[in-house]
Amino acid sequence: MNQLDLFAQQWQLPPGPYDVILADPPWQYGSRGPRHGQFGALDYDTLTVEEICAIPVAAIAATNAALFLWFTGSFMPEACQVVKAWGFRFIRIDKVWGKLTKNDKPAAVAGPWGLSDCEFLALGVRGQMCNQQPRPRNQYTLVEEESSLLVREQRPPRHSEKPEIFHQLIEQRFPNAQRIELFARDCHDGWDVWGNEVARQIG
> Is 104 part of any domain?
yes
In the DSSP assignment, the letter for residue 32 is S
Helices (H), ranges, the chain: 3-9, 49-54, 76-85, 144-147, 165-173
- CA distances in angstroms from 15 to 11, 50, 82, 202, listed in the order given: 12, 22, 20, 10
> Is 69 part of any domain?
yes
Terminus-to-terminus CA distance in the chain, angstroms? Answer: 33
CA angle 152, 154, 157 (to 5 degrees): 150
The pLDDT score that the predictor gives to residue 126 is 96
CA angle 129, 195, 62 (to 5 degrees): 20
> Is 77 part of any domain?
yes
What number is the average pLDDT over the span 156-179?
A: 85
Task: Quote the domain boundaries for residue 65.
Answer: 3-10+28-127+142-194
> Is 68 part of any domain?
yes
**Whether residue 48 has pLDDT greater than 50:** yes
The pLDDT score that the predictor gives to residue 79 is 97
Rounded CA separation 81/4 (Å) = 16
What number is the average pLDDT over the span 74-95?
A: 95
The pLDDT score that the predictor gives to residue 44 is 42
> Is 135 part of any domain?
no
Counted domains in the chain: 1
CATH of the domain at 34: 3.40.50
Closest by CA to 161, choosing from 80, 99, 105, 93, is 99
Mean pLDDT of the chain: 79
pTM: 0.80
> Is 85 part of any domain?
yes
The pLDDT score that the predictor gives to residue 1 is 56
Q: Residues 93-148: pLDDT tens digits?
A: 999 988 887 887 776 666 666 667 788 999 999 999 877 665 544 443 344 445 56
Helix (H) or strand (E) holding 118: strand 118-126
